[in-house]
Amino acid sequence: MYLVTVLRNLLIILAVNPDSHLHTPMYFFLSNLCWADLGFTLATVPKMTVDMQSHSRVISHVGCLTQMSFLVIFACIEDMLLTVMAYDCFVAICRPLHYPVIVNPHSLCLLHLVSFFLSLLDSQLHSWIVLQFTFFKNVEISNFVCEPSQLLNLACSDSVINRIFMYFDSTMFGFLPISGILLSFYKIVPSILRMSSSDGKYKAFATCGSHLAVVCLFYGTGIGVHLTSAVAPPPRNAVVASVMYAVVTPMLNAFIYSLRNRDIQSALRRLRSTTVESHDLFHPFSCVGEKRQPH
């Protein structure tokens, strides 16, 4: 599953970047979302695979904090990108005449930088909060990844600050983004239904439907992980929720965005044909020449 996730996301990135037809805001955000999925799985799956092969589940304190930091960064980047992509769909469908003015190269760079710096700030806040608490030594985490909420539950100190921070973080990176996404789709659906062109309706529904499916998958598994961590469930439930969140979701995201997207499928076909032509060009047996005569 990890190899499929890496290869599929890399294929989308390699198909989008060289294709001038796909140099649009939507595919700019899509390629960045693929990078976030790659980083998200890279922060979790290799360590889990090594643990499974070595039959050792030990991780150092520094390694745990590092894994948690990267996990939070890429999760928040994906969270912000999904919100921005929903807003991009809203402007493209509901305000098409204002789209070139609202979504311009400067606003794209600004939104991307804001998403990155907010994610970095949230990651550093998580690390700072965790470092303020005293933890038991040689503790066991009922998970294969250093998930922030489980680490904070292991604190020996007072958990009032912990709860305040978790409520604030859940509001900033959970409630507000999902509210913006739902509001965007609340405006998008009536606009699509009012379209007279059936081809335009199909393309809009395919794009928005793929995005909505990814949003439901990402937030559904993420909420499941946080709820299972909050109520201290049996270890098996927590691990299953985390596997869905860290492994299955990034793998399915790439398939959801590429299966029903004609532009991505065309770009992937062009990439494959270009690769085959390059392979034939440089293959030593691709050209049949005259038979060489011995000297």
User: Using one digit for the tens of pLDDT, what is the confidence trace for 75-114?
Assistant: 889 888 899 988 888 888 888 888 888 888 888 888 888 8
Kindly tell me if the per-residue pLDDT of 289 is higher than 50. no
Token representation of residue 110: 């600004």
Kindly tell me if the per-residue pLDDT of 211 is higher than 60. yes
**Torsional class of 283: left (φ above 0), alpha (ψ -120 to 50), beta (otherwise):** beta
- 226 or 255: whose pLDDT is higher? 255
pLDDT at 166: 73
> Would you call 4 helix, strand, or coil by DSSP?
helix
pLDDT at 27: 81
Kindly tell me if the per-residue pLDDT of 205 is higher than 60. yes
Helices (H) and strands (E) in the chain, counts: 13, 0
Q: What's the mean pLDDT when you consider all of the chain?
A: 78
Amino acid at 245: Y
Contacts of 240 (CB under 8 A, 6+ apart): none
Instruction: Encode 93-122: b = buried (16+ Cβ within 10 Å), e = exposed.
Output: beeeeeeeeebeeeebeebbeebbebbeeb
Token representation of residue 71: 């996990």
Kindly tell me if the per-residue pLDDT of 292 is higher than 50. no
pLDDT band at residue 290 under the 50/70/90 scheme: very low
pLDDT in tens, 25-71: 888 888 888 899 899 888 888 888 888 888 777 888 788 888 888 98
The DSSP letter of residue 96 is G
pLDDT at 237: 62
Query: Helices 45-54 and 25-42: crossing angle, nearest 10°?
Result: 20
pLDDT in tens, 113-138: 888 898 898 888 888 877 776 666 67
pLDDT band at residue 252 under the 50/70/90 scheme: confident
Nearest to 4 by CA among 50, 37, 33: 37
Dihedral over Cα of 172, 176, 178, 184: its sign? negative
Give the domains, in start order, of the chain with CATH numbers. 2-267 (1.20.1070.10)
**pTM, two decimal places:** 0.80
Average pLDDT over residues 14-26: 77
pLDDT at 201: 79
Contacts of 226 (CB under 8 A, 6+ apart): 149, 170
Q: Cα-flanking dihedrals φ and ψ of residue 135, to 5°?
A: -120, 155
pLDDT at 285: 46
260-to-18, 85, 254, 257 alpha-carbon distances in Å: 21, 17, 11, 7
pLDDT at 276: 61
Nearest to 184 by CA among 207, 161, 151: 207
pLDDT at 286: 44
pLDDT band at residue 18 under the 50/70/90 scheme: confident
